[in-house]
Amino acid sequence: MIKYNNNTINDWDYGTSNIIKVYRNNNVCYYKVVSSPAPEPQYRTISGETYCSGQTGYDKYVDVYSQVSYDGGSTWETTATTPTLVEADSPDCGYVKNYLRFIAKGNGTFTFTPKTDAASGNVISYSLDSGSTWTSANTTSTVQNGDVVFIKGENFGISSNAGIGTFSSTANFDVEGNAMSLLYGDNFENQTSLSGKDYAFMNLFSGCTTIINADKMELPATTLSNYCYCNMFNRAFNLVKAPSELPATTLGDACYMNMFYNCGAMTTVMDELPATTLAASAYSQMFTACSGFTTTPILPAAVITTYGYYRMFYNAKKVNSITCLALDKTAYNANGSFTYGVASSGTFTKHKDMTSWSRGSNGIPNNWTVVDYSG
């Protein structure tokens, strides 16, 4: 049945050469069928298999194909291919989170000793398989030379004047990775504040004579709390390399006090302590008795606070290069014994407008050359 001008035409047949002969009211009309109407284009998107790519190779991607069909879906033509990120830093692509970790340089065990009071219930978790499985215990099983021990903690209590706890070991080790995994567990990435966590990492490796290198350890907080790194490596006598960066720009009172006190073997320190505004006692005794390194971090702060640089380089016997850009040191004991016991000759780089430095152990060491900063 076909229709013509909305009237049903019941009497029709095909002729030769694709001619349709239509009978209506004794009249014959002829129609030639040239072709069937072309179907409307159809569109779709489909996804391929996932793959690993990106700058680091740890990102999971999938190619999304835009396609069109002109024959009702029998065949499809790809018009565009769009690589689409499925997951950044994907475990499926071999990504392993940068947990705090210890690299054993001998056979032995690691022990975490919680502090008293609020910290007494703290228990770490450790992993020997790059974070695939975890064990909750404050003493690890015996590890072998070269083993890597991943460390995390979560919801730790923090003891006033003591911190969360202290690590020790029976084997020498290097420490690497992000210390924030001790406070935030698996969710440590992108944590950059210690606000409200006074004393957090106080004493963390205090008295630990088996720690050797910490230059690959990350302390990423840009906002600190009071005493948060105080005594952190105090008397770690065999520490050779300090963390390569301390990026904090907002400080807490005594945040770095005694941090590397008596680390006599330490030969490598950070290039700069970038905070331009100090808190009270911020760097007090930070490098006291550190007799292994020669060039101090750049100190860009304009105003030295009360006890801000007190004994900062006291008996740091090899120090022969200090860059201090302070313009005001009038606060109480701001720089008492700042340079006592450093090398007998060296270079003191100061701000070009600073005229009130005196010679001696509270300021520019005797016999040192003085130059103006040109950076």
Q: Is 113:137 a contact under the CB 8 Å cutoff?
A: no
The C-alpha angle with vertex 49 and arms to 45 and 50, in degrees rounded to 5, equals 110
Distance separating alpha carbons of residues 26 and 28, to the nearest angstrom: 7
Q: What pLDDT, in 10s, does the model give residues 330-363?
A: 999 999 999 999 999 999 999 999 999 999 999 9
Query: What pLDDT, on the 0 to 100 scale, is given for residue 57?
Result: 83
Per-residue pLDDT tens over the stretch 177-209: 999 999 999 999 999 999 999 999 999 999 999
User: Which pTM does this prediction carry?
Assistant: 0.82
**Distance, C-alpha 353 to centroid of its chain:** 37
The strand order across the sheet containing 59-69 reads: 42-53, 59-69, 77-87
d(CA 243, CA 333): 28
Give the bridge partners for 321, in sequence order: 295, 347
| Predicted confidence band of residue 36 (pLDDT cuts 50, 70, 90) | low
3-state SS class at 294: coil
- H or E element: which one contains 182? helix 181-184
Query: pLDDT tens digits for 209-222?
Result: 999 999 999 999 99
Q: Is 26 left (phi over 0), alpha (psi -120 to 50) or beta?
A: left
| Beta bridge partner(s), residue 110 | 169
Helix (H, G, I), strand (E, B) or coil at 165: strand
* 151-185 pLDDT, tens digit each: 999 999 999 999 999 999 999 999 999 999 999 99
Q: SS3 for 371?
A: strand
Stretch 113-135: mean pLDDT, rounded?
Answer: 94
Q: Reduced to 3 states, what is the DSSP secondary structure of residue 117? A: helix
DSSP for 201-246?
A: TTTTTTT-TTEEEEEEEE---SB--TTTTTTTTTT-TT--B--S--
Sign of dihedral through CA atoms 325, 259, 150, 209?
A: positive
